[in-house]
Amino acid sequence: MKHRNSIVLMVSLLLAGMCITAGNAAGASLSDDRTDNDSGDGLVMVGVSQVGSESDWRIAMTQSIKSAFTTDEGFYLIFQDAQQKQENQIKAMRNFILQEVDYIVLDPIVETGWDAILQEAKDTGIPVIIVDRMVDADPQLYTCWIGSDFEKEGRDAAEWLAAYLGTEGRGEEEIHLVTLQGTLGSSAQIGRTKGFSEVLDEHENWKMLAREDGDFTQAKGQEAMEKLLERYDDIDVLISENDNMTFGAIDAIQKAGKTCGPNGDMIVISFDAVEAALDAMIDGEINADFECNPLQGPQLLETIRNLEKGMTVDKIQHVDETYFDATMNLPELKAERKY
Ligand code: GYE
């Protein structure tokens, strides 16, 4: 594995331009256990192309990566926020290749359209690690993937709903559902929709009235929910594919003079389980929330360390996840959490 010397590092940073921020470079010293140093300061350069900062989850994930890859740990992080645009991610990756980084980390906004740039990285011998969302590409083009089992999250949410309706004595009732979907074509949207639909298909009395795109943001979630509430006055269940869309949807529901949560007009099921969502659950506005773990920095760090040592790493690595519902001791559970 190549490592840059200081001059190359400086040139690289100039090349990287204004939109790139380097993690914790100032004043930190290198640790003694760094590996494979063949030049200068011996920092391992890692270029990260992040989707954006569209949600609380995303901000926690970015923070987790930035605090793992420090110069103290022997890494030089080049972080690029693509502002939810695939073309920005491709440009960032091309810059990383030009800078001859040691590793590229890609969190792909959508699954398709990566073949050419992944091939470019492979041709120059730079390993690409995919995180969070997945690519629909030849697995030979990337080293490994670290992320969540989105289909399982979707299935778990639907199975929770079936059990909940059963305990409420509504197991046989006709149930009207709507879904706020995340960025269309992203793994989180595809997996959660697919997993939920598998269980939906087993319940003839569940009717999915509509699925609306809310792009994983609070503003679009609110807008989409407003439209749904105008169109339907008999919604029993809202499935919202992330917490920020849920926050927007709750505002829309309340503005429409309706209520939601365990004692409300509408059951709300959300994904991510960020701190503000647990607060909303404590306030009685969300029924259940399926965790998606954004703290992927340490596992990514360990994976790159292992690759640096020449070890093979698991091609598919899932992160641990759980769920929360309004029957649990949420204040106590919340106190143990970091996001
Ligand atoms: O659920 C959402 C974010 O890809 C798992 O992206 C991630 C999703 C997460 O914007 O909040």
pLDDT of 276 > 60? The answer is yes
Ligand 1 within 6 A of 307 CB? no
Ligand 1 within 6 A of 150 CB? no
One-letter amino acid at 65 equals I
Predicted confidence at residue 41, as pLDDT, reads 80
Q: Give every CB contact of residue 56 below 8 A, 6+ residues apart in sequence.
A: 243, 244, 272, 274, 275, 276, 339
- What is the average pLDDT value for the chain, to the nearest integer? 91
Q: What pTM did the predictor assign?
A: 0.89
Ligand 1 within 6 A of 132 CB? yes
pLDDT of 17 > 80? The answer is no
String of DSSP letters for 122-160: HHTT--EEEESS---S-GGGSSEEEE--HHHHHHHHHHH
- Report residue 40's pLDDT band, with 50, 70 and 90 as the boundaries: very low
Q: pLDDT (tens digit, 9 = 90+) per residue, 52-69?
A: 999 999 999 999 999 999
Atom of ligand 1 nearest to the CA of 150: 5
Q: pLDDT (tens digit, 9 = 90+) per residue, 137-146?
A: 999 999 999 9
Predicted confidence at residue 5, as pLDDT, reads 41
Distance CA 259, CA 182 (A): 23
Predicted confidence at residue 37, as pLDDT, reads 37
Atom of ligand 1 nearest to the CA of 272: 1
CA dist 145 → 3, 30, 88, 102, 127 (Å): 23, 28, 21, 17, 12
Ligand 1 within 6 A of 308 CB? no
